């Protein structure tokens, strides 16, 4: 009997039974392909790679369990109902039974995705972990125009805007933002919520390009899920800071498209007001919040009231309590949050018209700054004397107040990334600001440190009042960041003997390397006779005296051990070497360019 023969009545087993191609899955579920897609997206089901592809290489395989999981999904039944209902409506319309059609349309069956979210993310932390794509997508759609043709409805765009603002308001309020980066693609933000690093991208606030070759249906399906997810996440987050969700905004500010500001005010009012009044009223904050929700007008006045209370804490009898509350809050925060909270403390910012307002309104309060902008609804106007920084992005600034600094918006982002207040000279109006560096790059792993990163590092060290090697000293071994690091460490802990020893060793090593280099150059320039080569013995004593072909020897040593490796290991090793080589080539390219630029600058 051949091996592949399966007698009748015996079940399939192995890969044949375990995996199913997409076509078969669609048939099996008795749905259309588009519905299958939608289900897969909503349920988070993805194809899997079987060990053996039974039907061939060019098929997509799903795990049978996944498909069964889809089969038992109540949504599947719901979608079928909806389809049948749509048919009813269509029939009524085509029979000119407008009455029936309208009646039917008012009671269209709907579905909710909350169960799916609970199923996919049983814990809140799971949801946070998967939030990156969700946030990026929601922020992207918040910036897109509504198009009837592609079924991108205005309602959804507005919803996306609202959700993104709610998220930002929370992050800003709770000072959870960690890193920002202005890239060509948009602005990246990284926040840390419950220990999870969440990174998202917001497009630049401009007219977005809508390409033709994109299937918006798929994106909208994703968006549908993401909207629900972010709404639940927002709910949970707002709940955690004792704020009622969904927030009710000041309609005046909302009309002025200053949603974010309105939201942050709402948050401030709601989360700070209860403790102030908690002495007088022993009722819980949530109750108060509920009271607030009863009417918009009442709510608004309450809002104002709370605002006032917040602004005048020192006159209040509950000021002490307030302070305590603050202290408690700080105890709860980790060190980083505290650092973030106080970065822009005692600073007042004013945004000109041309700077990206939404982004800065998000970032500056997240780091403890007070911000206003040019336009209606702003908390204070340009002539306010207490403004310390005005953010402008124009070639020249006409009228200047002497009491404040005029800086470009990049300064804010760079400060945030460096966690120190950078000197503003470089970022003055009309100047080309220094390069904007990504905070997501690990310089050690990358192997190349841009010049400005070094500067920032020195400034950071200065801010921490630590001693770093003088810039003059560094020039010698700028090419070797490792060395610099080592030296930095050593200088700081010079008293310790062990460090002393280490330093000596490093110096020795450096000396040795220098010698090697010199010798290498010697080899390159003067043609070394064979006799000289003969002397290149491996003896330890001989090494220091003359090493004519050091590189060769090093290479040989590497090769020698490669000779005895097994083939598999050797291949792996070689692949690793190729990866390393590529990385080094990239670093070399950068260094070469840098050198060329420096030379060009010098010659000018």
Partner 1 sequence: MKVPKEGSRSVDSQIPQSEKETNQKKKEETLNTKEGEEPQVELPTDSESGDEIFSEDDDALRESGSGESESLGDEDIVTTSDGEGLSDDDGNHVQENGSESDEAHEGVEESDSSEDEVTPRNTIGDVPLEWYKDEEHIGYDITGKKIKKKERQDKLDSFLASADDSKSWRKIYDEYNDEEVELTKHEMKLIRRLLKGKAPHADFDPHAPYVDWFAWDDAKHPLSNAPEPKRRFIPSKWESKKVVEYVRAIRKGLIKFDKPKEEPQIYLLWGDDSSSTEKAGHGLAYIPAPKPKLPGHEESYSPSLEYIPAQEEINSYQLMFEEDRPKFIPKRFMSLRSVPAYEKAVNESFDRCLDLYLCPRARKKRINIDPESLKPKLPSRKDLKPYPTTCYIEYRGHKGAVMSISTEASGQWIASGSSDGTVRIWEVETGRCLRVWEVSEAVQHVAWNPLPELPILAVSAGQDVFLLNTGFGNEEEQEKIKELLHVETPTMPEDSGNSTSAVTWAQDDKNKGIRLKHFKSVSSVEWHRKGDYFSTVMPSGESRAILIHQLSKKLTQRTPFKLHGLPVSSAFHPTRSIFFASTKKNVRVYDLLKQKLVKKLEPGVREISSIAIHPGGDNVIVGSREGKLCWFDMDLSSQPYRILKCHPKDITNVAFHRSYPLFASCSDDCTAYVFHGMVYSDLNQNPLIVPLEILRGHTSANGRGVMDCKFHPRQPWLFTAGADSIIKLYCH
Q: Which of residues 494-533 bind partner 1 (CB under 8 A)?
A: 530, 533
The residues facing 405 across adjacent strands are 389
In this chain, which of 20, 31, 75, 117 binds partner 1, going by CB under 8 A? 117
CB of 493 to partner 1, least distance (A): 27
**According to the binding rule CB under 8 A, does residue 184 interact with partner 1?**
yes
Tell whether residue 98 is a contact of partner 1 (CB under 8 A).
no
With contacts defined by CB under 8 A, name the span among 207-215, 282-290, 327-335, 416-424 that binds partner 1.
207-215
Using the structure block, give the residue that is written with the tokens 């919520």: 193
Query: Interface with partner 1 by CB under 8 A: which range of 168-176, 340-348, 515-523, 559-567?
Result: 559-567
Cβ distance 417 to 410 under 8 Å? no
Q: What is the DSSP letter of 147?
A: B
From the CB of 593, what's the least distance to partner 1, in Å? 4
Three-state DSSP at 346 gives coil
Segment 329 to 358, residues that bind partner 1, using CB under 8 A = 354-356
Question: Cβ closer to partner 1: 499 or 550?
Answer: 550
Name the minimum Å distance from CB 519 to partner 1: 17
Question: Considering only residues 282, 314, 529, 559, which one is a binding residue for partner 1 as defined by CB under 8 A?
Answer: 559
Query: Which region among 232-240, 274-282, 316-324, 491-499 touches partner 1 (by CB under 8 A)?
Result: 232-240
Closest CA relative to residue 238, chosen from 134, 139, 156, 162: 162
Q: Does 324 bind partner 1 (CB under 8 A)?
A: no
b/e burial code for range 468-477 (CB count within 10 A of at least 16 → b): bbeeeebeee
User: Facing residues of 370 across strands?
Assistant: 348
Residue 179 near residue 113, CB atoms below 8 Å: no
C-beta of 325 vs 454, nearer to partner 1? 454
Window 8 to 67, contacts with partner 1 (CB under 8 A): 37, 40-41, 44-49, 60-61, 63, 65-66
What is the rounded CA–CA span in Å between residue 257 and residue 260?
A: 8
SS3 state of residue 280: coil
Among 112, 386, 526, 551, the residue binding partner 1 under the rule CB under 8 A is 112
Q: Kindly determine how many residues on this chain lie close enough to bind partner 1 according to the rule CB under 8 A.
A: 118
Q: Whose Cβ is closer to partner 1: residue 193's or residue 490's?
A: 193
The four Cα atoms 421, 426, 430, 432 give a dihedral, to 10 degrees, of -120
* Integer CA distances (angstroms), 49 to 4, 10, 320, in order: 21, 25, 62
Binding span for partner 1 by CB under 8 A among 227-235, 291-299, 312-320, 415-423? 227-235
Q: Checking phi first, is residue 270 left (phi over 0); if not, alpha (psi -120 to 50) or beta?
A: alpha
Rg (CA), the chain: 32
Residue of 17, 210, 241, 308 interacting with partner 1 (CB under 8 A): 210
Report d(CA 276, CA 244) in Å as an integer. Answer: 18
Q: Per-residue b/e over 100-127, b at no fewer than 16 CB within 10 Å?
A: ebeebeeeeeeeebeebbeebbeebeeb
Does 183 bind partner 1 (CB under 8 A)? Our answer is: yes
Minimum separation from the CB atom of position 269 to partner 1 (A): 21
Our finding on whether 235 is near partner 1 (CB under 8 A) is yes
Binding test (CB under 8 A) with partner 1, winner from 425, 560, 603, 604: 560
Q: In the complex with partner 1, which residue's Cβ is closer, 215 or 494?
A: 215
Told to check if 132 binds partner 1 by CB under 8 A, we report: yes
Shortest distance (Å) from residue 110 CB to partner 1: 9
Interacting residue with partner 1 among 28, 85, 111, 222 (CB under 8 A): 222
Asked if 481 is part of the footprint of partner 1 (rule: CB under 8 A), the reply reads: no
Binding flag, residue 69, partner 1 (CB under 8 A): yes
Nearer to partner 1, 432 or 498 (CB): 432
Q: Is residue 488 close enough to count as binding partner 1 by CB under 8 A?
A: no
Angle among Cα 466, 472, 476 to the nearest 5 degrees reads: 110
Secondary structure in 3-state letters for 64-106: HHHHHHHHCCHHHHHHHHHHHHHHHHHHHHHCCCHHHHHHHHH
What would the two tokens of residue 265 be? Answer: 């005010």
Decide if residue 209 touches partner 1 (CB under 8 A): yes
Question: How far apart (Å, rounded) are the C-alpha atoms in residues 586 and 590?
Answer: 6
Stretch that binds partner 1, among 109-117, 480-488, 508-516, 518-526 (CB under 8 A): 109-117
Name beta bridge partners: 192: 197
Q: Mark the segment that binds partner 1 (CB under 8 A) among 77-85, 201-209, 261-269, 376-384.
A: 201-209
Given 556, 581, 588, 599, the residue binding partner 1 (CB under 8 A):
556
Measure the CA–CA gap between 155 and 142, rounded to whole angstroms: 11
DSSP β-ladder status, 348-351 and 370-373: parallel
Residue 548 tokens read as: 């004519």
Exactly one of 1, 206, 402, 498 binds partner 1 (CB under 8 A); that residue is 206
Give the footprint of partner 1 on residues 393-452 (CB under 8 A).
393-394, 408-410, 432-433, 435-438, 440-441, 446, 450-452
Cα(144)–Cα(161) distance, rounded to whole angstroms? 10
Binding of partner 1 by 140 (CB under 8 A): yes
Could you say whether residue 483 binds partner 1 (CB under 8 A)? no
- The nearest distance, CB 409 to partner 1, in angstroms, is 5
Which tokens in the block code for residue 151?
A: 């079924």
202 and 346 Cβ atoms separated by less than 8 Å: no
Query: What are the structure tokens assigned to 286, written together?
Result: 């949530």
Beta pairing partners, 19: 63
Nearest distance in Å: CB 344, partner 1: 19
């Amino acid at each position: 009997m051949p091996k592949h023969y399966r007698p009748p009545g015996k079940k399939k087993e192995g890969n044949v039974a375990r995996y199913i191609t997409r076509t078969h899955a669609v048939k099996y579920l008795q749905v259309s392909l588009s519905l299958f897609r939608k289900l897969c997206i909503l349920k988070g089901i993805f194809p899997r790679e079987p060990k053996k592809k039974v039907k061939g290489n060019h098929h997509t395989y799903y795990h049978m369990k996944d498909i069964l999981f889809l089969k038992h999904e109540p949504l599947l039944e719901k979608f079928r109902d909806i389809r049948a209902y749509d048919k009813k409506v269509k029939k009524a319309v085509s029979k000119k039974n407008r009455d029936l059609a309208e009646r039917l349309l008012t009671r269209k069956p709907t579905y909710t995705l909350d169960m799916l979210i609970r199923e996919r993310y049983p814990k809140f932390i799971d949801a946070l972990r998967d939030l990156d794509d969700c946030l990026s997508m929601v922020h992207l759609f918040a910036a897109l125009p509504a198009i009837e043709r592609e079924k991108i409805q205005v309602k959804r765009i507005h919803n996306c805007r609202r959700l993104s603002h709610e998220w930002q308001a929370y992050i800003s309020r709770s000072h959870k933002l960690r890193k920002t980066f202005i890239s060509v693609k948009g602005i990246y933000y990284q926040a840390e919520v419950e220990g999870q690093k969440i990174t998202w991208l917001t497009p630049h606030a401009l007219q977005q390009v809508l390409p033709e070759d994109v299937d918006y249906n798929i994106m909208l399906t994703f968006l549908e899920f993401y909207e629900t997810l972010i709404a639940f996440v927002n709910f949970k987050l707002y709940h955690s800071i004792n704020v009622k969700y969904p927030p009710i905004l000041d309609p005046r500010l909302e009309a002025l498209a200053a949603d974010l500001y309105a939201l942050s005010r709402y948050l401030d009012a709601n989360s700070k007001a209860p403790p102030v009044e908690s002495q007088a009223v022993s009722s819980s904050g949530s109750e108060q919040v509920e009271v607030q929700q009863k009417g918009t007008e009442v709510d608004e006045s309450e809002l104002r009231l709370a605002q006032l209370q917040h602004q005048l804490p020192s006159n209040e009898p509950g000021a002490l309590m307030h302070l305590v509350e603050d202290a408690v809050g700080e105890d709860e925060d980790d060190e980083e949050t505290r650092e973030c909270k106080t970065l822009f403390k005692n600073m007042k910012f004013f945004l000109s018209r041309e700077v990206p307002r939404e982004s800065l309104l998000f970032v500056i309060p997240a780091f403890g700054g007070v911000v206003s902008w040019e336009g209606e609804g702003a908390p204070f106007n340009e002539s306010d004397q207490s403004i310390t920084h005005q953010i402008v992005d124009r070639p020249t600034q006409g009228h200047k107040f002497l009491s404040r600094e005029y800086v470009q918006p990049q300064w804010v982002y760079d400060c945030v990334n460096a966690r120190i207040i950078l000197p503003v000279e470089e970022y003055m109006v009309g100047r080309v600001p220094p390069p904007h560096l990504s905070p997501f790059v690990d310089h050690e792993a990358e192997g190349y440190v841009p010049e400005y990163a070094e500067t920032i590092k020195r400034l950071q060290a200065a801010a921490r009042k630590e001693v770093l090697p003088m810039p003059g000293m560094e020039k010698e071994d700028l090419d070797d960041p490792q060395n610099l690091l080592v030296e930095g460490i050593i200088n700081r802990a010079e008293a310790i003997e062990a460090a002393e020893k280490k330093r000596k060793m490093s110096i020795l090593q450096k000396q040795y390397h220098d010698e090697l280099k010199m010798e290498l150059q010697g080899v390159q320039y003067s043609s070394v006779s064979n006799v000289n080569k003969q002397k290149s013995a491996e003896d330890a004593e001989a090494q220091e005296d003359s090493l004519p072909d050091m590189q060769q020897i090093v290479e040989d040593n590497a090769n020698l051990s490669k000779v005895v490796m097994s083939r598999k290991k050797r291949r792996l090793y070689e692949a690793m070497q190729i990866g390393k080589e590529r990385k080094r080539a990239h670093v070399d390219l950068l260094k070469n360019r840098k050198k060329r630029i420096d030379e060009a600058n010098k010659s000018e």
